Structure 1
Amino acid sequence: MNLYEKIVNKVEKISVIGLGYVGMPLAVAFSKKALVIGFDLNKKKIMQYKSGVDPTNEVGNEAIKLTTVDFTSNEDRLKEAKFHIIAVPTPINSDKTPDLSPVEGASTIIGRNLTKGSIVVYESTVYPGVTEDICIPILEKESGLKCGVDFKVGYSPERINPGDKVHTLEKIIKIVSGMDDASLDIISKVYELVIEAGIHKASSIKVAEAAKVVENSQRDINIAFMNELAMVFDRMGIDTKDVVEAMNTKWNALKFSPGLVGGHCIGVDPYYFVYEAEKLGYHSQIILSGRKINDGMGEFVADAIIKKLINANKLVKQAKVVILGITFKENCPDIRNSKVEDIIKRLNEYGIKPVIVDPHADALEVRSEYGVELVELNSVNDADSLVFAVAHEEFKEMSWEKIDRMFIDGIDNSEKIIIDVKSILDKAKIKQIGYSYWSL
């Protein structure tokens, strides 16, 4: 039997290294077809999973309780597996250069526990060349084994969309690659166990690596274009949403909207691509320009808040600004690289300490990551301005009576300021009520 057949017959195990928004759903999916070891260095996270708690909300507590994944923080257990999937994050440094320390650390751990006949597949987003030029040497050094002889390597970029209950892991076409035809065949068959949408076999590992950073860079550029339009339309006094709705009536409109671009993919991946391009002597023009625009949107929104406060004759430093949402996207607890932080920092420069509400975010994580305290939605009152920063369902479903109760009692509606970053509210209703309104 080859490795695929041994996995299907539960003679050999799969290991998933890194149990976050990508690795955990992957481990749970594979556990329905094979024996799976789920490894993470975070012991608290492992205890949560063992207790049947899903802090990511990607598969839910019930699925975690029922899964057969063998969760562990003991790296020695990795020796039991022959098919290893690395799904650790790949963030950027403060100077926007790639931070490869998580993927290098995972390679070191796997290398120490690698056995002959194994296959290691990387899912972490990297620039073309990282798997072969950086990761393989680490695996060889730590294991004392020879790549291509004693073990094989492949790359399959993660495409999970956190919080998306429609485009789930199983329903997204999976790009796979291997260092040779034999490894590609096994890797493809293993992923076909759980991917219903099908497999796309990339011609090389570098092609697969490039596909991931390029698909997110493309989205980043398109959103940057819409953000630039939004800034211009703001000066023109034109509603961006109205323009977008009119434009989208054409069949080939791309249907992008302006917004805050954060998270672990779109706000990060373009820098990986640019970094490698610059090493080869090419200095990006379009990609970096898009990043500059998107990185500045938090400040743009904050400045719009200040202008509205001034126009409403508010004392800026004394104004109570309530920000609804701090996760990087709607209906998701992920706070990594949230651009709401940029709004907070900019408001701080004006002497405003905004009140932050988010029913999806973990209060301890928010305090640790951003140094702010979350408050309960029902406790909000006496607000001068409500900033709908994230389109959580809880915010979209709020009644107008509830919204009104959060403002200072007794003031004229024209002094009640609503900042609708995601354009989730009924603009016609707001005009009827008479609130001071601004949307991106």
Structure 2
Amino acid sequence: MANPIFSFKRGVFLADFHVHSHFSRATSPDMHPDTINRFAKQKGLSVVGTGDFTHPGYLQELKKELEPDGNTGLYVCKDDPEGTKFILTSEVSNIFTQGGKNRRIHTVFFSPDLRVVEEIQNRVGSIGNISSDGRPILGFPVKDLVRIIMEVSSDCFVVPAHIWTPWFSLFGAKSGFDTLEECFEEQSNHIYALETGLSSDPQMNWRLSALDKYTLLSNSDAHSPSKLAREANVFSSELTYEAITTAIKHTDSGFEGTIEFFPEEGKYHYDGHRACNICMKPQETIAHRGKCPVCGQDLTVGVLHRIEELADRKEGFIPETAKPSVHLVPLEEIIAEAFGVRTITGRVKKEYQRLIQLGESEMNILLWKTEKELQYFVPDRIMEGILRMRRGDLKINPGYDGLYGKINIFSKKEREELQSSRAKACSREKALQMDLF
């Protein structure tokens, strides 16, 4: 798997807009502004979304912990004014019926300041429950939500979220639409960008000519601090709200490209039925008429399949408007692979912190440090993992039906050899300890 355009020039900054607070369901209790700031710095983010600004309780927290970063339209932690800058963002879920079909659409909204956030809460809170979840569920068409928010302030910004996810997205196989205009109708002119989601990347989206006019964004959708920056956006604009949103609208104004998950690692890349351990390529799903061969239930149609259905271009097409992208494996996952373990153990976390202290940030290590620079502080096996990732020299078992894919940087034989050498080292250590007594 090639990763041909590997690195962006130094001097750009990274932004991750779509995150969640501890007020969202299935989210870490650590997702407070101070913790988000600390982890964002470790990752190498210059800008991070607040997430969940629609929640009244979280708005009070934002007011308490953040302060304006001058007149930039961004915010910083009061206790760390030189830290990562926050941009006001929130994801909303609209569930409604349109065209005789049940629709579930997630959208990320940007706000230029807290005053606008308060007015959005007043308007939306009068017609829906915004207090039960950090990502509120509203029972009316998403186009009406866009209209309300843009009436509050024309400086707000709208981005359909993870547009291919089967259950909750613009083009999702289960509850989405076939075109953006069908969904947003007269509000379509407010949409300048689309979030590709973890299970797709820009290359996959380039197969639809209808998407050429939209900027393709990538964000982590982080529900815990360690997941920040698993996807991100690259800018060379000024660090202001206006400059960032202008760069997204007009990409020659400072939008440089994206940092990507390998899409095969996403939870909905392939089709399948997790309960029966069935994972299929689109062609196999068609051959089985969309049914699980074990139990006969409907398969969950994944992102690759859905793109195949709507695509009007062949795989590999590159539009003139295309921006570069880089596919990365999170550093903790590389360390775990190098250590021969499948989970993020205490030993993995300790090594991660050591590397971050020496390498300045995770993205600096993964993107910009040369092989010669890495040799000074990165153990050989971890460095080999980083270099293989940069080459795209990986094996990935694709994700399906809500199950993340699995990346193997090292072969089965290499992993077995590592486990064997570790076992021998442990045996020698125990023998030495016994000799001491």
Provide the TM-score with structure 2 as the length reference: 0.28
Structure with higher RCO (Cα < 8 A, 6+ apart): 2
Greater radius of gyration (CA): 1
Structure with the larger helix share? 1
The normalised TM-score by structure 1 is: 0.28
The structure richer in strand per residue is 2
